[in-house]
Amino acid sequence: MSRILLTGATGLIGGAVLHRALAAKTGTEWVCLVRASDAEAGRQRIAARLGRFTSALNAQRLAQRVEIVAGDFTKADQIGDPRLDSVTQVLHLAADTSWWAQEKVHRTNHDGTLSLARRASRMKNLTRFLHVSTAMICGGNPPAIMDETRYPDAEARHLVHYSASKAAAETSLAARFADLPVVVARPSIVLGHSTLGARPGSSILWVIRACDRLRLVAGDRDGTVDIVPIDWVANTLVEMLERPDLAHRIYHLSAGLKSRTRWSDLGRTLDLVDPADSPRHYDEFAASDRATLQARFAAVFGMDEAIKIAMFRALQAYYRFCELNVTFDNTRLLSEGFAAPPSLPHYIGRCVETSGDIIDQFREDFGNLASAPLQGDRAPRTRVPLSDGIAARAGAARRNAARRGSTPA
């Protein structure tokens, strides 16, 4: 019987993984390492996340089928709970997704991952350590088609600290834990749910909607972005855990050549979804052209609130990612019989149907991006600072909105 240790169960992809696995009603045992004061508090956090995918009552029922170990994965090597000793597989999803808090992000995503790996090395029945990284560790100047072998690259110039920390974690895992059965999964841009739309979470969706509202495309209208839905990523990760043998150590969980999204195609699809706002014509601009973006943003959204200023600065960084025009090759995955992902135009309509205001969607995502930037913090290539005052005011706005019920709990 499989006994899987999951970190990050209260996150977006972690919740999707757990919902998919528990709904399948297999004999697999799931143990979740959750930051909480005790097991019951951790269970309630998991139930709240599962509630994004099902009814509140069913979420509570599913959460009862999970073993909870209250603890911090960044100190996993100090956890002596014997329930971890019998784990057969680890799915490591937990991460600090802040873009700018350099020291904190590295400490969590790199040092914390190594702590978990040290604990895993004491699991005598372990057959797989599935570490979830990101395809964006390619840095800011990748080739148009990227395969898994070309990075991590010590010379890569990262756009944000998050991707730099993920690259460092991969490098250290390979160097220090050669005897651990590590498999690395690198999702590309994870956006929306193919059937539930924005209900599980609106992370990244606000970016696409904002780009569409601004009618601005960084680079080429026929350029591409590599986007995959949450549920497909979750299904693929669970299947990777279930398979006794995998041909490779590293896989892209990406759209690839067949499912990547062209801005021009997305615009035509949005014309059908939102005909009142058609026909769409996207203007091209360079992501480094701050003046053009700021003028368009001020005209469309305004710059009269702290949360809007924070959104503008975050959007600057996202436009730099979009301008990369990179496709992450998923031949490895498809050649082993894994299902191909749907392309964004196939489910963007459902995402729009289930979406609220763009600013409110950014509020939900803001804490993940900013999370209390450290004093003097700098991004490795693109400086997109958020002052402590802006972060505090935006955080207060986000909490007030939550109390009004304008953002999901």
* Residue 373: per-residue pLDDT: 35
Q: Quick one: tokens of 208? A: 């696409």
* Residue 203: per-residue pLDDT: 82
Please, which contacts does 47-53 make with residues 24 or more away whose CB atoms are closer than 8 Å? 48/10, 48/409, 49/9, 49/10, 49/11, 49/14, 49/15, 49/18, 50/15, 50/18, 50/19, 50/22, 52/15, 52/196, 52/199, 52/200, 52/201, 52/408, 53/15, 53/16, 53/19, 53/196, 53/199, 53/200
3-state secondary structure at position 351:
helix
DSSP symbol at 109: I
Q: Give bridge partners of residue 228 from the DSSP assignment.
A: 190
Q: Quick one: tokens of 112? A: 């914390």
Check if the beta carbon of residue 223 is closer than 8 Å to that of residue 325: yes
Q: Quick one: tokens of 407? A: 């953002």
- pTM here is 0.88
pLDDT tens-digit profile of 58-70? 999 999 999 999 9
Q: Which of 86, 74, 88 minimizes the C-alpha distance to 33? A: 74
Q: Which of 99, 107, 66 minimizes the C-alpha distance to 83? A: 66
Q: Which residues in the chain land under pLDDT 50?
A: 371-409
* Residue 367: per-residue pLDDT: 66
* Residue 278: per-residue pLDDT: 82
Handedness of CA 329, 331, 337, 339 (dihedral sign): positive
* Residue showing tokens 């073993």: 67
pLDDT tens-digit profile of 204-263? 899 999 999 999 999 998 999 999 999 999 999 999 999 999 999 999 999 999 999 999
DSSP symbol at 193: B
The hierarchical CATH code for the domain 3-194+226-259 is: 3.40.50.720
Find the largest Cα–Cα distance for the chain. 61
The residues spanned by each domain of the chain are 3-194+226-259, 210-219+261-325+344-404
